[in-house]
Every structure is written in structure tokens, then in C-alpha cells.
Structure 1
Amino acid sequence: MRAVTWQGRHKISVETVPDPEIVNPRDAIIRVTSTAICGSDLHLYDGYIPGMRAGDIVGHEFMGEVVETGASSTLQRGQRVVVPFTISCGQCFFCEKQQYSACDNSNPSETRDASELMMGHAMGGAFGYAHLTGGYAGGQAEYVRIPYSDVGPVVIPDDLPDDDVLFLSDILPTGWQAAVNADIEPGDTVAVWGCGPVGLFTIQSALLLGAGRVIAIDHFPTRLALARKYGAEILDYTQVDVREALDEMTGGVGPDACIDCVGMESHGFTADNILDQVKVKMLSSTERIHALRQAILACRKGGRLSIPGVYGGFADKFPLGQLMEKGLSVKSGQTHVQRYSGELLDMIRDGKFDTISLISHHAPLEDAADMYRHWHDDQDLYTKIVLKPGLKKGDISARQELQHA
């Protein structure tokens, strides 16, 4: 089969690799019909996540048709399914608490030691995301093996197109959990750093959960226009001092909840971010946390901080004293996708989420290397890319529905 492989920093190639096989009775094999490039994939592309090996198959947002099942799978051939990026057994201490991304059985023994050494405890398994999370082959491929297929996949009715439901794999439940973790109360003011796909779903989720105002912070015009379309007030951080603007917009109090949807690769030319970039280049730090610092300093006293943005290691100049003295509550973590899948599928059917307008491009799987480069370099034009194994090379469709703000 053909699959998208990581070959090193800024090196992605589509290669012919062995087809996946059933290795456990709970496995299933799916033929991929849609798979997306996630912002987290850029951390792999930029070489910030340890534990990658040349030839690893990447991708963790995907869906497709079941073509083979193990004896203990609950799936049936021909079913359409969306697969959560988290691999979860459904039976361990953490899965029973619905903390599926912390599953204690899905990270194989040969990769647990490095994960435990770096994180303190072994991370849960995930598709296409380094050997720290199990070294599982990802979903940017023609076929994928699905471990624990009786736990994760969401069966999709035939009347719902792929584009409507694909993001149940990751970014929609991630945005939803980000808003849930912010403990939003009716009428709250919520500030969201980052208007990438997760941030855009966080905005929609916060408003659905009762926020009175959502203030979205970014600098890409198309992303800010989408944020406004979804109901947010917008701040372009290249045009305003974000902390001053938030202070003025909230009467000097600060947002009730701040949500960091940026993660380890903050943009910007502030002094702290420039210093972070230098330290990352010198390998003396692994994170650029300007957005997180800003969120902590901007949040009101006694407010809440939610961190869905991905961080992979150790950060410098973390404002721990400010967080403590302000009495902020913090929730973070990889998404417990399986906890929210059914609820969110119903909400999609009821038209409560716009899952389509953030997709800017459909492209063949074979064009993955070019699409990664565009996703990395042209983020204002490429807001979300969906790869389609069935398309012919070069057959790219782009949406032109959105006017810049």
C-alpha cells in the first residue's frame, strides 16, 4: 500500500510499504477514505517530538471503511468509521475513569521505558505519533490496523459525508474538551489563543457551553475571519498589545477563562519568544511558550486555564509564581476522545457545529509532501488539508468561500 512517511526534519515522502495485518483478535483493518494533516503533525515535521524513526507512517486524523476484522472486534465489514487518535483498551484503571488518553495498556512494552523516563509515567498509545506513544502506524495511508477496535471507532451513518464527521477523530473533541476543561459558566468571557483548527472548534464549543463572549487571538487574516464567523471577537496580536486589549475589553478584570490552543511553537517577535527560539535552536529548551505565558498573565484572579495545545518537554521562564499568586485552576492533557464521540456525533447531526468551512483543501495522498510544506509555510491560505487516497496525483480542490476580515 501507499503511505505518508516521516524521513527526518522537514522530510515527508509517500512510499510503498507492507499492508497492515490482523495481529490481535480485537483488531480491525480499515481502508482509509479521508485523512487530515493536524497542527500536531507540524511538531513532527519540525523535529520537536523525540522518538521518531525514518520510515514511520504518520497521521492521526482519519476515517474509512472496515475491510477486515479480528474474532473479537465489534465492527462489521463495510461499516464506515471514524477512528480516535488515542488508542485505548477500555478496561484499565484510566479507561474505566473515561480518561482514555491515559490508557495504561496501549503503549507496548518495548516503548514504555523511554516514555516513563521522559514523562514520569508511560504515555497512552496514539496513531502515527512517535515511539513515545507506541510507534503505531498512522492513518495517512491507504489502509490502517486499528487495535482495540471494539473500543475506539465511531460507526458513521451513510447519510453523513466524510467532511462532516472526519474531525471526530481529534480536533473537534479536542476543542470540545478544551472548553469543558475551562469550566465555563453562563455569561463568561473566554479568551482563546490560536485560531487554528483546534482553536476554531474551541470557539464554537465555548459558545455552545454558555460563554457570553469569546475573544480569539491570532494574526492570520483567514483564521481570524473564521473565528469571527463562528461568533468570536478577534484580536490580531501584530496590531495590538494583547494583554492591554484584554484588560480594556474586560473592564480591568481579565477573562474568566483562558485557553491555549497554540502549544509549543508560539509565533511572534516578543522578547520572550525570541529568547525561546534561540534556546530551542541551542537545544537548551524544547518549548516556545509565549502564548501560555500571556494567557497566565492575562487571566483574571481566580480564573481558569485550559491547555489543549501540545507541549513535549521542558519550558523555560514559566510564570509559576504568577499562576499560584493569582489562584488559577489549570486543566490540560491529550483528549479523551472516546468520552465525547457519541455526544458530538449527535451535535453534528443537529447542525450545532460547522465542521466544513475550515477545510481549505482536498488533495491526493500522493501530494502529501507538498501539502505538509504548504501547511507549514502558508497557514493563512491552508487552514485545513484533507488527504484523499482515492484522488489522482495533482487533483487538488481548494475552497474559496471566505473573504478576509
Structure 2
Amino acid sequence: MSGITSTPIYTLFTGADFAPSETVFPPIGILPAELLIEIFSHCVANEPTTPLTLRQVSWWWKNLVDSSPRLWQTIILDNADSNTRFSEHQVALWTERSKPLKYDVELNVDDPDYILPLLSPLLSSINRWRALRLSGKHDEEIVMASLELTPDSLTHLHLCLHDFDQDDFDDEEPRITFSPISPGECTNFALNIWISHLPSPILLPPLRFVHLTIAEGGQIGLHTQPKYILEFLTSCSELESFYLSGWPHDSPVIGPLPAVHLPTLVTLHLKSTCFARAILSQYHEDGDSEDEARDYSQSPWSDQATGMGLRKLINRCNPPIRVLEMDFCDMRTKDFRYVFDRLPMLEDFYIVASDMSDKVINLLRPIFPNQSDRVVQLRLPRLRKLRLANCQRLNGTTIVEALTGRAQWTDAHHPEDTLVEVVVSGCERFSQWDRHLLSTVLQNRLRP
């Protein structure tokens, strides 16, 4: 336009006149670092993965972005990513660059089964979380400041199998929570997650939880398989206790089953599950075969699992077992023999609803010497209390003969270790006449 003096663009940005032939830096290139960081922070607020793009512009921007912790304070993880292992690389970069500041974790998950795989790489720095936000089919936010969680205090993992497609499921119910393991106790916490399937160990880094609970979703709800349970346990090598709360169901067992090494496991609790044998059995071990006695049993698989599990328990018990109660569980005859031969300190033996045969009760008789061995042998030499309840396979005559022979010999030779209390109840083949005969030897030691 006439009458208006044009000012060169480089004069507006630099405040100085340069000859047009001189090199001119782009305007944003001369901004101070503090102003650039402010601009970058607005970009990051709208798109948290922006630091990855900004640091590729130039070596100066890369150094600036990498040395600005506030730009790395939001980690967004998405289960739609085809490469789930990318999350571990992303987590390592964000947690390192955001130091020493705290950061937010945002999970965009349509499938709750991805919550644990996405979160697990971040658990080692949970003390730095400001908030955990869940979005997708369900929105949820957990403010972490009041929990004071640390990697060492997050000791328990509770996984609840739930069918999210049920009509009566409340979409407002949480998918994930943190809670003290007991009311008023704020030194150990549990991570509680509702899922529909146990995640594959391929998606998981090693987990540091020392206590694990897996609960199936009810009698008509979701069930799992021992294969998936055992595969998940391979990621939990530091476990000290494992609780499985299941429901009886007749699904065929999927194989092959992996072997799991849990060197620090102290407590194992399997409740209401038909998968005991599959979970407990270890293949190619001494004694892990069919029962040579061919005794009748209603549940041969669980019998074998109980026997193999008790064999392992006996080998690890120090001090030895003094009380053994078997309530609605059973073993093979070979396992009873193995156990009775290796419990020299057992004083009380209670067994309810066992399918054990006469061969088992006969194991309690004294073994008298033959010509080459003049030492009388006695299994469970310290046994003082015996209770047999609802053992329907036992013959009354066999019970009388076995316990009479034992009591007469121990009364005469080891009165300090003889039977002081015997209860036989609910055993259909133990008649009133059998009770009378046994009472003539045991007298008031035979209780109703």
C-alpha cells in the first residue's frame, strides 16, 4: 500500500535490522527455554505422548524435553495397542524422565483383562503415582495421595473372575481398587481387580506380590482352568501364600499343565474346586502313579492330589506334624502307608467321610517280628487320639481287630503312648456288637 512503510519480518521478531542476504532463524527457534517449556506443556496437556514427537525436532529440543520432568507427568496406556510390550518401554521412559516428580497413570481399556498387564510395569514406582484414571467402557479415578502406597507395602493381589456381560452387572461398580488387607491396618495393601480371564504370562513382567487370591465367579458364573492358573503363577515366583476360591464344575481339564516353581510358598488354600489334583500334582515323581491296592474311591483324582500334596508337606515340616485332620478328603492306600510311616510324632488323627478300605485301618496294627527281624514295628507310635467318622467302607470286624491288637500291645509295652481316646461314629458297618467288643478292651477310652 502506498504511504505505509513495510517492516521486514525478521525485524519484527528480532528487533534488529539485518540484510536480507543474512541467515534468519525461525521465530520459535530464538524463544527462551522457559517459554518453550510452557508451550510444550500445553501441547502435552492435550496429547500426553507429545514428548516423543517434540524430542525428534532437533538436538536442542530433545535435551530440553528430556530435562523437563513436568512434560512426562502423564502416562497413557491403551489396550488397543497391538504391541503390549511397548507399554514397558513407554513406562521406563516416562518414569525416568519425570523424576523426581509424581505422575498420573491413565488407562484406556475396553477390556478389563488388560488392566493388570498394563499396570504391572508401573507397580515398582507406585509411591510416585498422583492419580489412576480408568477410561473406556467404564470411567473411574483413584486419588493416590491418601493411600501412601509403596512397592513394599503392596503385598496382596486379589483377582475376581466376573462376567461383565451379565444383565445384572452394575456399570458403576469398580474395576480396580486398593485397600488395606484388614480394617485399621495401613502397612500392607491389596490390589483388587475384576477380570473375566486370567492374563497370560506373556503379557506380564515378574510380579512381586507375596500373597495371591483368585476367586471364581460363582456356581453359574465364570470359571477358570488349572492351565491358566498355573501359567499365571509362573509370573509370581515370590509368593508366600496362594488362595484359590472356586466352585465345583465338571469342565474337562485343558493341557498341557506347566510346572511352577514357588520356592517361598508357605500357605496353599484350595477351596471348593475340582482342580486340586491338576494344581497339586507334579509329574514323574516318586509315588505319583495309580494306587496299586485298587481300592474303591469316589474321587480318585482328588485322592491322588491330596496324597501327593501331603507327601510334600511332610517332607518340609519341621517340627513334625502332631495333629492331622482330614475333613471330607481322602488318599490312596499307598499314600496312607507313606504318611503313617513318616509321622513318628503324630498324636491326634481325625478323618471324616473317607473311602479308605480295611487295608488302611490294618496299617495301625503292630507288625510282629518274623524269624529274621525280632523288633516289633508300630506305625504312628505316638498316636493317642483317633476319630473315624462316616467312613462307610470300613468293616466293623476289621476296626475291632486292628484297634484291639494295637491297644493291647501298647498298653503292655508303651503305656505312655497308648490310645487314650477313640471315636467311631457314623460308620455303617461298625455295629453295636462291634462297639461292645472294642469297649471290652478300650473301656471308657471308646467315646460315643
User: Normalised by the size of structure 1, how large is the TM-score?
Assistant: 0.24
Q: TM-score if structure 2 supplies the norm length?
A: 0.22
Name which one, 1 or 2, has greater alpha-carbon Rg.
2
